[in-house]
Structure 1
Amino acid sequence: MLAPDGVQKNGILINGQFPGPTIEANWGDTFQITVTNNITGPEEGTALHWHGILQKETPWFDGIPSVSQCPIAPGSTFTYTFRADSYGTSWYHSHYSAQYADGLLGAMIIHGPAHAQYDHDLGPIMLSDHNHEQYFKIVEQFTGSELVPNSTNNLINGKMNYDCALTNLTCNPNAGLSMFKFESGKVHRLRLINSGAEGLQRFTIDNHTMTVIANDFVPIEPYETNIITLGVGQRSDVLVKGTGKPTDSFWMRSDISERCSHSDQRHALAVIHYEDAHTRAVPKTSHPTYYNETNCSNDPLNVTKPLFKMPLPPTPSFTETIDIDFQANATGAKVWLMNNQSFRANYDHPLLLLAKLGNTSYPDDPQWNVYNFGKNTSIRLILRGLTPLAHPMHLHGHNFWVLAEGLGQWDGVVTRPENPQRRDTQLTDWGYPYDAGMSYTVIEFMADNPGVWPFHCHVAWHERPDLIKQREIPSIMAQTCRDWWNYSAHNVVNEIDSGL
């Protein structure tokens, strides 16, 4: 049971914490994380994904049921072992259906070389929409429907108040807000993470300017802004100078976008106290930072310049246009489609393990929606959004270049080809009902990490069966399947959505 905003609900927690414990390491360290599945009421499989970790040495530990492993069966234990191959700010979460929306998530910090100067690291600040209903009931209600569920609240580091008059559930008013300490004249590092299920977040601090120093795991040349836009899964590291007086207090705010997302209560608050402020003081600032929502995109590509230059290849080896749409399948149920095909997880047969055995027949089976990029060295994807919804598109196992974005048809122009923006998650704006009829985002990545990698909610596979076969996949990966087969042979697994 948890009640982050005062309203009680059943949750799925890690070590009894919400959000889950922050995991920290130094760049190059090896993580060894043991997961025991004690989920009950009802029992469910699970798996943990380490968002943004490239897993170049260990693609089998990416934590995706049906792709890199079978789910961890109820009552079973599994140990993930992988290298901290990037540095900065990220998070980990369940990748079993929408399970993490009930609390199965936490922050991840990997310390690396300093590329900006600051005095205090305030640690992770997790921004997340929140639902009072359990995730499975929401999936059950809305899968196959045109409707999109509204979240019931918005949280900063797992806290926010809620008006108990709005619910019939057990509710305690004034649950409390997250609090942060600033020091006058000092520079503070904030590690912002959108760990929500659907809500696009707009983050501000009253009377303060932020300097962005990293997006996802990619350090960038610093630039100033008053507002940070984060789609689900995205992260930004920002520096904030303490310009207030030692006795001041200010509001920290994060709003779920009214234009781009769906929520009954969009506004989340936290409190910043300076060093001599009374800890019970209510901030006197009453006017939030003004912003005008004109799109559902991240900051312009021309201002997000990676600190370490990495030019595009002169010509991509392979180019694919992918249309993102929402249409009825053969049964009449509405499903998300990429190039007119949805994805359906098969928990019993992970794609990576099939590839290791030489079974590459599944690209011809539509339920998988697998693309075979063969031995191409660089892949360019032209994503076209055809629906009135924004999409934070995340590619596992890679950082990608973001070449262009906009409305209508891409004109072929690349933003700063000598050093385009790089990250692992990028927002794709609305398509319809814009007059242009579609939006576009163009990304490109090097196929330098053989494996089977999801591209939400599409699976992009750099086949290279020759290289996959050369890798010694630990026997414990097959053990996850033996445990899962034993469980699923005697229990009904309710897989209503795609399963990822």
Structure 2
Amino acid sequence: MKNSISLFSYYRFTHIILMLVVLALIPLSSQAEKHEFDMTIEDTRIVLVGNRDFHTFAYNGQVPAPLLHVKEGDEVTVNLTNMTTLPHTIHWHGMLQRGTWQSDGVPHSTQHAVEPGETYTYKFKAEPSGTMWYHCHVNVNEHVTMRGMWGPLIVEPKDPLPIEKKVTKDYILMLSDWASSWANKPGEGGIPGDVFDYYTINAKSFPETQPIRVKKGDVIRLRLVGSGDLVHSIHTHGHISQIVFKDGFPLPNPIKADTVLVGPGERYDVIIEMDNPGLWMIHDHVDTHTTNGNKVDGGIMTTIEYEEVGLDHDFYVWKNKKFVPDFYYEESMKKGFGMHNSTVFKGELIED
């Protein structure tokens, strides 16, 4: 009898040890975490280019909004406080909200809009993985299209594809369009017949966007987000783009191209090998989208700058440009998981 008990204890002890070993071998990065973030909405003023300002309703006072970077399966809680004079919500575009439909952020469907001075708490599991985004779902034609109520939500996969593991630099480009006739008339606009006359990457128009700095051998990932109301045709010079993801989902076979059509709400992840040193343009091939008001050479344009060729060229528009890092969240994406505010996108608070 004693031998039986002793043998049972031995096997039980061995089983526990094996379980502990197995748990220890599971990478920490694959284990779900809990995140809780506090977020506000504030009346702010941002400048798109030159002196073209806009009254915005900004999450944490910035446009685009803070980066939320989490892992697939993480539990996310966001406490949203509305400090403006109009109602708002957050819709977590791309999240399935399994069992948490009341956190989908749609007034008249899943919740009452968050009134001025109120706080509303969203809770959901981050699934599926991919390039997602979040935006207001109250009067979206105004609040999203021309009041800057949008930001990136990046959900890292449990099992990244081999091509993802090759990426050395990660950039987020949120594409939007603005009708200046409503620039300083909050609560108005976003109606049929609006004339869009400013076009932006991350709420800035060329030449006040920033270059993408690389060196030969880099593999870059451009996360393109259609956060406005128009279709944009993004053309990269001098390189072959691999369109690998659509709306966060991997394509069965990546598409090789040099132009990517991005519609409202769409996301495309494009991976490009930096194998052709030079100074190369990236721009919207809808030609009117490369204007600022009634001036040409603006809008949705930037450049890829290779370290190997330098900037000392008299023809280069950004030869003496002061470089501002994190314009594409490239530094924030390196900081690990959480909510990352950025002074790069901070607007000027509008006092009552």
TM-score (norm 1): 0.48
Matched residue, 1:92: 134
Instruction: Describe how 1:45-124 pairs up with structure 2 within 5 A.
Output: 45-97=87-139, 98-100=142-144, 101-112=146-157, 113-117=159-163, 118-124=166-172
After superposition, what is the alpha-carbon deviation per residue over 1:69-104, rounded to whole angstroms, capped at 9, x for unaligned?
000010111121111111110110111102122111
Q: Residue 234 of structure 2 contacts residue 259 of structure 2 at CA under 8 Å; is this kept in 1?
A: yes
Matched residue, 2:218: 186
Instruction: Describe how 1:94-493 pairs up with structure 2 within 5 A.
Output: 94-97=136-139, 98-100=142-144, 101-112=146-157, 113-117=159-163, 118-134=166-182, 140=188, 143=191, 147-161=192-206, 176-196=208-228, 198-220=229-251, 221-245=253-277, 248-256=278-286, 267-278=299-310
| 2:72 is the alignment partner of 1:27 | yes
5+ long unaligned stretches in structure 2: 1-44, 318-352
Q: CA deviation at 1:275?
A: 2.6
- Secondary structure of 2:180's aligned partner: coil
Q: CA deviation at 1:284?
A: 6.2
Matched residue, 2:11: none
- Cα gap change, 1:56/1:160 in structure 2, threshold over 3 Å: closer, same or farther? same
- Secondary structure of 2:56's aligned partner: coil
Q: Residue 54 of structure 2 contacts residue 184 of structure 2 at CA under 8 Å; is this kept in 1?
A: no
Whole-angstrom distance in 2 between the partners of 1:29 and 1:284: 45
Matched residue, 1:346: none
Q: Residue 234 of structure 2 contacts residue 261 of structure 2 at CA under 8 Å; is this kept in 1?
A: yes
- Cα gap change, 1:69/1:142 in structure 2, threshold over 3 Å: closer, same or farther? closer
* Higher strand proportion (structure 1 or 2): 2
- Secondary structure of 2:58's aligned partner: coil
5+ long unaligned stretches in structure 1: 162-173, 286-500
Q: CA deviation at 1:123?
A: 2.8
Q: Residue 55 of structure 2 contacts residue 183 of structure 2 at CA under 8 Å; is this kept in 1?
A: no
Whole-angstrom distance in 2 between the partners of 1:130 and 1:28: 35
Q: Residue 179 of structure 2 contacts residue 198 of structure 2 at CA under 8 Å; is this kept in 1?
A: yes
Q: CA deviation at 1:62?
A: 0.2
Matched residue, 1:4: 48
- Cα gap change, 1:281/1:130 in structure 2, threshold over 3 Å: closer, same or farther? farther
Whole-angstrom distance in 1 between the partners of 2:312 and 2:87: 43
Whole-angstrom distance in 2 between the partners of 1:121 and 1:199: 27
TM-score (norm 2): 0.68
2:267 counterpart letter in structure 1: R
Whole-angstrom distance in 1 between the partners of 2:303 and 2:167: 20
- Secondary structure of 2:102's aligned partner: helix
Q: Residue 54 of structure 2 contacts residue 183 of structure 2 at CA under 8 Å; is this kept in 1?
A: no
Whole-angstrom distance in 2 between the partners of 1:156 and 1:282: 25
| 2:62 is the alignment partner of 1:14 | no
Whole-angstrom distance in 1 between the partners of 2:161 and 2:315: 33
2:130 counterpart letter in structure 1: G
1:207 counterpart letter in structure 2: G
Q: CA deviation at 1:183?
A: 2.3
RMSD: 2.6
Q: Residue 156 of structure 1 contacts residue 254 of structure 1 at CA under 8 Å; is this kept in 2?
A: no
2:212 counterpart letter in structure 1: F
Q: CA deviation at 1:110?
A: 0.6
- Secondary structure of 2:153's aligned partner: strand
Q: CA deviation at 1:2?
A: 0.8
Matched residue, 1:296: none
Whole-angstrom distance in 2 between the partners of 1:141 and 1:280: 44
Q: Residue 182 of structure 2 contacts residue 189 of structure 2 at CA under 8 Å; is this kept in 1?
A: no
1:273 counterpart letter in structure 2: E
- Cα gap change, 1:239/1:185 in structure 2, threshold over 3 Å: closer, same or farther? same
Q: CA deviation at 1:52?
A: 0.9
- Secondary structure of 1:31's aligned partner: strand
- Secondary structure of 2:83's aligned partner: coil
- Aligned-pair identity (%): 25
1:65 counterpart letter in structure 2: P
Matched residue, 2:32: none
- Cα gap change, 1:136/1:96 in structure 2, threshold over 3 Å: closer, same or farther? farther
* Higher helix proportion (structure 1 or 2): 2
Q: Residue 211 of structure 1 contacts residue 223 of structure 1 at CA under 8 Å; is this kept in 2?
A: yes
Q: CA deviation at 1:282?
A: 7.8
After superposition, what is the alpha-carbon deviation per residue over 1:105-153, rounded to whole angstroms, capped at 9, x for unaligned?
101111112124223232311111123244795985674xxx5212111
Whole-angstrom distance in 1 between the partners of 2:61 and 2:310: 31
After superposition, what is the alpha-carbon deviation per residue over 1:423-474, rounded to whole angstroms, capped at 9, x for unaligned?
xxxxxxxxxxxxxxxxxxxxxxxxxxxxxxxxxxxxxxxxxxxxxxxxxxxx
Q: Residue 106 of structure 2 contacts residue 138 of structure 2 at CA under 8 Å; is this kept in 1?
A: yes
